[in-house]
């Protein structure tokens, strides 16, 4: 494979969207080719080109297009006529040369000073155009000093500009959620450690055995106890009676004798 072909393949793989736009721009009626390089386009049913004011245009227009991504160069050459040596494997070549009769792979027509080139659909001698999901890949090799229009072609829809912002927003939310979960786990760990150390210090009290008593077996309070219960300051003390002494018994006997002697005697 030639060095020039390798360069074309590498450039088609690493090119970004900005580079694709620089190859040309959308205009009324199609896509205007301004520079060389790879480009992906939405193509109508028929691939055709227009060069306005052919008399004032100099230089050749040459472009490669995908015909069969899986076919080798030899396989394409064995079937079709427009397989050039400057395009990558699986690509075929188209030429338009304003002011000259040089046309390659296209059916050319001239009207009102303009040059038109048309890829004949269903031709058995020219490579068919490969289309996937409505898109076709091209590599512009040469551009004349005048605009070339790919009729009816359009650039694919561009992804929304705010998509990077959405990614940044998602990343921020992921960070916030991770920090929140980390703080939650930290708080749970601290509380668990505190409860564990506290349970080791507290002595568990011994549970007392409660005897179940029947409601009928309650002790009835006596009236005396009720009176005592009513007077909280009353003391329950019973002192034993001391037997009378000798002097007390003698004084009692003497008082009885005196009463007896004083009573009048009956005659």
Span 107-140, pLDDT tens digits: 999 989 899 999 999 899 999 999 998 899 999 9
239 class by beta-carbon count within 10 Å (0-12 exposed, 13-18 middle, 19+ buried): exposed
| Residue 68 reports pLDDT greater than 50 | yes
Q: What are the residues facing 39 on neighbouring strands? A: 138
What percent of the chain is predicted at pLDDT more than 90?
A: 42
Q: Position of tokens 């360069």? A: 7
Report the candidate in 155, 6, 117, 127 with the shortest Cα–Cα distance to residue 64: 127
| Residue 24 reports pLDDT greater than 60 | yes
**26, 135 Cβ separation under 8 angstroms:** no
pLDDT, residue 5, reads 46
pTM above 0.85, yes or no: no
pLDDT, residue 8, reads 44
pLDDT, residue 94, reads 96
208 phi-psi bin (left φ>0, alpha ψ -120 to 50, beta other): beta
Separation of alpha carbons 189 and 170, rounded Å: 29
Q: Which residues contact 46 (CB under 8 A, 6 or more apart)?
A: 118, 119, 121
Span 133-178, pLDDT tens digits: 889 999 999 999 998 999 999 999 876 555 555 566 677 778 889 8
CB count within 10 Å of CB 262 equals: 7
């Amino acid at each position: 494979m030639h060095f020039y072909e390798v360069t074309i393949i590498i450039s088609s793989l690493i090119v970004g969207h900005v580079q694709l736009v620089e190859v040309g721009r959308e205009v009324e009626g199609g896509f205007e080719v301004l520079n060389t390089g790879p480009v992906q386009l939405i193509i109508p049913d028929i691939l055709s080109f227009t060069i306005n004011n052919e008399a004032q245009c100099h230089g050749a227009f040459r472009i490669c297009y995908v015909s069969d991504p899986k076919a080798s160069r030899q396989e394409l050459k064995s079937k079709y006529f427009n397989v050039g040596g400057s395009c990558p494997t699986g690509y075929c070549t188209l030429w338009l040369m304003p002011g000259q009769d040089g046309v390659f792979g296209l059916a050319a027509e001239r009207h009102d000073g303009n040059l038109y080139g048309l890829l004949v659909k269903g031709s058995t001698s020219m490579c068919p155009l490969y289309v996937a999901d409505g898109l076709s890949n091209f590599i512009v090799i040469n551009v004349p000093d005048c605009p070339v229009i790919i009729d009816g072609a359009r650039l694919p829809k561009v992804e929304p500009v705010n998509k990077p912002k959405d990614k940044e927003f998602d990343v921020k939310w992921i960070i916030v959620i991770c920090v929140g979960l980390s703080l939650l786990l930290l708080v749970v760990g601290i509380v668990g450690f505190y409860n564990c150390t506290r349970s080791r210090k507290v002595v568990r009290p011994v549970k007392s055995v409660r005897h179940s008593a029947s409601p009928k077996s309650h002790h009835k309070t006596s009236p005396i106890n009720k009176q005592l219960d009513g007077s909280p300051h009353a003391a329950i003390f019973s002192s034993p009676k001391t037997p009378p002494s000798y002097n007390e018994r003698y004084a009692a006997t003497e008082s009885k004798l005196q009463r007896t002697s004083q009573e009048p005697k009956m005659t």
